Amino acid sequence: MDKITEIVASALNALYGVEKENPAIQLQKTKKEFEGNLTLVVFPFLKASKKAPEATATEIGEYLVANSELISAFNVVKGFLNLSIAGNSWIEQLNAIAKEDKYGFTPVTEESPLVMIEYSSPNTNKPLHLGHVRNNLLGFSLSQILEADGNRVVKTNIVNDRGIHICKSMLAWQKWGEGITPEKAGKKGDHLIGDFYVLFDKHYKAEVKELEAKGMSKEEAEAASPLMAEAREMLRKWEAGDEDVRSVWRMMNEWVYAGFDETYKRMGVDFDKIYYESETYLEGKDKVLEGLEKGIMYRRPDGSVWADLTGEGLDEKLLLRADGTSVYMTQDIGTAKLRFIDYPIDKMIYVVGNEQNYHFQVLSILLDKLGFSWGKDLVHFSYGMVELPEGKMKSREGTVVDADDLMNEMVATARETSAELGKLDGCSAEEAAAISEMTGLGALKYFILKVDPRKNMTFNPKESIDFNGNTGPFIQYTHARISSVLRKAAESGIVIPSQIEKDIEITEKEISLIQRLAEFKNVLKEAASTYSPALIANYTYDLVKEYNQFYHDYSILREENEDKRAFRLLLSVNTAKIIRNGMKLLGIDVPERM
């Protein structure tokens, strides 16, 4: 693509005096119904050529064929010039791809931009659920993609470990837990604490209902709830540093962190630095008070502190309540302050659902006003909600699908489906378990990541595990199929060359597959610039479809011509490599056998 762009630029310069550095050169893959490999849109050059679209395209095509060995033929369809690339150029392209283990990746150096990506952001009153799964998978994949595009990446997490929701679980444990621990319950700590969060809500609703029966309105009953008053008092004591409350808080949080770590490890995501709201909210208060002194914020008569953003087309934003307690915005400012101290950030990306769009508009303006160089350009990677076919989930009512339960279900379904299709035949128990784990989690990750992150989505576990169609298992199975071909070649003593040295006559289908491999470089660039793992996912699926058509139509190991066989094996090696690298960017492993 780069070479053809250079040649086209030279043609435009020679024919019409167009500057060589011309951004209007648009090359795209030729549509299937037309002959050719790449198509040049000529409309941007009509002013310079002073000719009709067809005449301009024909003139450029004739020049390219006469002056470049890369172009073997051309045809014109209205204002589109379809170019056929010479066969030996495709061999050169395959050799170029084969030279690089990380074809399409940009090396990271000490001078590379430093990008910090925040994702996960769990609360310590419940286990990670399906919504967190989408957040974690998007955040981790985005980290992989941006690093592959030549950025230094720091993966961070902010744990929401304080507030009234935490106190609800703590209070319920004190009242009805009878000293239960994760060990005694035989449960992960995050699941145990989540049970108490649900239990609090159950008792609270019963209390409100009882007060309503005595003649109170719902609002009056909620305000008069003794249970909620106890939770608020516990929060006040926590903020005052009461050691009895703090010791219970530390103990229960440790249970939750241990549970989170297990979930993160199985999901295949990690973090370079974890921040805790309990440590950042005071830093935020200090920064807000600093802004107050500088006149960036103002204090109302009741003592609360606000920022007036009406000049920016927004509203006024509360930053400190009248009693001095902080809000989420305050915590985010404090976390930003600590991050700025810890790292020389060039860009900050927050992976947070689209219900927080306004929050991040405000945060960006406030951070800029408070002097953070990256504040104005912070990126809110806003993604849509994920639901189940049955509808929305609610934590307090216990209708949320826990991440652990979901992963267990996916692996069990993968094992069952694989066994039915004979994919586990001949595998040992250990191999069957490993393949089921890889396939189940691959299905989950791919199904979520193939969707445009900005869109809401419905996750259907049954649809995600299918060895045909746009699914993780289909891609994983194709990789295993290629690995099988390469193993058989090795067992037969066939040496696969690292480069193709001879000119070989290759078919249109083989050219199409090489062209698809070459596209990975540009797809990776686009995925990084648009923050879209879905581009990588769907590209990989298209590549796999292309390879399966090639595999169906052409012999590889049975090909009698040694040069053609070597070429097809090298083509298979590099297809497997791009599949592996593409899936790794999504956090998905691919098996050698299946």
What single string gives the DSSP state of each residue in 286-329?
HHHHHHHHTTSSEE-TTS-EEEE-GGGTS-EEEEE-TTS-B-HH
- pTM recorded for the entire structure: 0.90
**Element of type H or E holding 349:** strand 347-353
Sort strands 71-77 and 27-29 into parallel, antiparallel or unpaired: unpaired
For the chain, percent of residues with pLDDT exceeding 90: 81
Rg of the chain on CA atoms, in Å: 29
Residue type, 476: Q
DSSP annotation of 160 reads B
Return all residues near 465 (Cβ < 8 A) that are at least 6 apart: 410, 413, 414, 417, 439, 440, 443, 471, 473
**Separate counts of helices (H) and strands (E) for the chain:** 22, 14
Residue 212, pLDDT above cutoff 90: yes
pLDDT score at 397: 47
Residue 454's closest CA among 381, 539, 561, 377?
381
pLDDT tens-digit map of 256-312: 999 999 999 999 999 999 999 999 988 999 999 999 999 999 999 999 999 999 999
219-227: long-range contacts, CB 8 A cutoff, minimum separation 24: 227/171, 227/200, 227/203
Higher pLDDT, 468 or 591: 591
User: What interhelical angle do 562-585 and 533-553 show, nearest 10?
Assistant: 160
What single string gives the DSSP state of each residue in 380-433?
EEEE--EEBTTB---TTTT---BHHHHHHHHHHHHHHHHHHTTTTTT--HHHHH
Tokens 């009248």 found at: 322
Tokens of 315: 């509203």
Residue 514's closest CA among 567, 586, 478?
567
Asked if residue 475 lies in contact with residue 589, where contact means CB atoms within 8 angstroms, the answer is: no
C-alpha 190/C-alpha 196 separation (Å) is 10
> CA end-to-end span of the chain, whole Å?
36
What is the pLDDT averaged over residues 120-135?
Answer: 93
C-alpha 418/C-alpha 38 separation (Å) is 40
Tokens 């699941």 found at: 191
pLDDT tens-digit map of 333-371: 999 999 999 999 999 999 999 999 999 999 999 999 999
pLDDT score at 24: 85
What single string gives the DSSP state of each residue in 263-293?
HHHHHT---SEEEEHHHHHHHHHHHHHHHHH
C-alpha 119/C-alpha 127 separation (Å) is 16
pLDDT score at 398: 47
pLDDT tens-digit map of 223-252: 999 999 999 999 999 989 999 999 999 999
Dihedral sign of CA atoms 365, 371, 373, 378 in order: negative
Give the Cβ contact number of residue 302 at 10 Å. Answer: 8
Range name among 91-95, 388-392, 477-481, 578-582 with the lowest pLDDT average = 388-392
Residue type, 442: G
pLDDT score at 388: 74
What single string gives the DSSP state of each residue in 493-529?
TPPPPSS--S-----HHHHHHHHHHHTHHHHHHHHHH
Domains in the chain with CATH codes: 2-85 (3.30.1360.70), 272-401 (3.40.50.620), 403-585 (1.10.730.10)
Return all residues near 240 (Cβ < 8 A) that are at least 6 apart: none
Alpha-carbon distance values, 276 to 157, 159, 253, 263, 281 (Å)? 8, 5, 11, 18, 9
Asked if residue 336 lies in contact with residue 286, where contact means CB atoms within 8 angstroms, the answer is: no
Q: What is the mean pLDDT of the chain?
A: 93
SS3 352: strand
